[in-house]
Amino acid sequence: MVEIRRMGPQIGVEVTGVDVKTLDDAGFAPIYQAWLDHNVMVVRDQELAMQDFLHYSRRFGLVVPHPSKSTRHPDVPEITMLGINKFNPDGTLNQAIYRRGAEGWHTDGAYDAVPFKATQLYALAIPSTGGDTLFASMYAAYDALPERLKQRLDGCVGGFTYGGRRSRQELLNEEDRDWKPVFHPIIRTHPETGRKGLYFDPGKIVSIEGVEGAEADDLIAELTGHMIQPGAEYRHKWRVGDIVIWDNRCSYHRAAGDYPPEEDLIHWRVSIKDRAMEGRLAAD
C-alpha cells in the first residue's frame, strides 16, 4: 500500500510502500504531485541498480551530466558518485569531497542558463552519526521578504557563476573553470505551481542588476538573511535505500558536513533539467 506522509510543516514528504522499478504512470502521478506540493520528497526502502535509478530519475525530466567531471561515474557520466575517493593519495581528507554541499545554503545549477529542475540522490552507505541534509522553502523566503524588497526585486535579474564571488571551483577540471555569468530573475515564479519564490544562492550570485559596489554586498547579505524561515525547514536523516529528490526551483539545501570522516556517506546523484527547456540546453 502506497503511503504519502508529510514530513515538515511546509516542505518534506515521505513515500513508503512503493517499488520505483515497477511504478506505472498512474502510480507515478500522485507521487509527482506530492513532490510539487512539498518540494522535497523521500522514497524509502528502494533496492536499485544504477540503470533503475537513472530510469526512475528520467520520469522527472532530462538527466544531464554534472559539470564536475572528477566525481562522475567512469562509465555512466550522468551519475555523480558523492563521497567516493574522499582521501587524497597522501592520506589526508579531501575537503572538497567530504564537505560537498556543506559550505552553505544553495540551489543546484544556478550557474547554467537552464538551471537544474531537480537533484535526486540514492543512499548507498550512511555513517553511524551525522551526514544529514537540510532543506528550506524558497516560497517561505519570498513570503517573508519586506514589501520594500519584494517591489525592488520584482523583475530584477541576478548574475550567477559556478564559483560565485569567492570562485570556489575545486571540483572542476582546470579547463572547465572559465564561467560567464548567466542571468535569472531573483523573484521566480515556479513554472508548475505558479508560486513565487526567492531564487537566490549566496555562493553563486555575482551581481544584481542595477545595484553596484557596497550596496550590492549589503543586498546580498540581506537576502542571505531571509533565505531560511523558521517552520519552513526539513532535516533529512538518511537511511540506506532512501531516494531523496528536491526541487531546485523552490527549495534551498545544504549538507550538514559533520559525519566521522573515517565512515562512508555515499550516494548516487543525478542532475535533472526540465524537458520543456531541451531546445535551450545547447546554450549551457
Ligand X SMILES: O=C(O)CCC(=O)C(=O)O
Stretch that binds Fe ion, among 26-34, 44-52, 88-96, 101-109 (CB under 5 A): 101-109
Q: Which is nearer to Fe ion, 108 or 247 (CB)?
A: 108
* 120 binds ligand X per the rule CB under 6 A: no
Pick the binder of ligand X from 82, 123, 149, 186 (CB under 6 A): 82
Closest residue to ligand X: CB criterion: 101
Stretch that binds ligand X, among 51-59, 100-108, 179-187, 196-204 (CB under 6 A): 100-108
Stretch that binds Fe ion, among 55-63, 99-107, 109-117, 201-209 (CB under 5 A): 99-107
Please report, as residue ranges, which positions from 102 to 141 form the binding site for Fe ion (by CB under 5 A): 108
Following DSSP, what letter does each residue of the chain receive, concatenated? --EEEE-SSSS-EEEES--GGG--HHHHHHHHHHHHHHSEEEE-S----HHHHHHHHTTSSEEE--S-GGGB-SS-TT-EEET-S-B-TTS-B-HHHHTTT-SS-B-TTTTSSS--SEEEEEEEE--SS---EEEEEHHHHHHTS-HHHHHHHTT-EEEE-SSGGGT--TTS-GGG--PPPEEEESEEE-TTT--EEE---TTTEEEETTB-HHHHHHHHHHHHHHS--TTSEEEEPP-TT-EEEEETTTEEEEE---S-TTS--EEEEEEEE-GGGGGGGGG-
Pick the binder of ligand X from 12, 61, 101, 203 (CB under 6 A): 101
Q: Which is nearer to ligand X, 46 or 133 (CB)?
A: 133
In the bound complex, what is the minimum distance in angstroms from residue 184's beta carbon to ligand X?
A: 18
In the bound complex, what is the minimum distance in angstroms from residue 152's beta carbon to ligand X?
A: 29
Pick the binder of ligand X from 142, 269, 273, 274 (CB under 6 A): 269
Stretch that binds Fe ion, among 1-9, 95-103, 187-195, 196-204 (CB under 5 A): 95-103
What residue 133 binds from Fe ion, ligand X, none (CB within 5 to 8 A, per partner kind)? ligand X
Q: Which is nearer to ligand X, 154 or 166 (CB)?
A: 166
In the bound complex, what is the minimum distance in angstroms from residue 210's beta carbon to ligand X?
A: 30
Q: Which is nearer to ligand X, 235 or 280 (CB)?
A: 235
Report CA-CA distances (Å) from 124 to 6, 41, 77, 82, 114. 24, 17, 18, 10, 29
Contact residues for 5 (Cβ-Cβ < 8 A; gap 6+): 13, 14, 15, 16
* 119 binds ligand X per the rule CB under 6 A: yes
In the complex, the residues that contact ligand X under the rule CB under 6 A are 82, 100-101, 108, 119, 133, 253, 255, 269
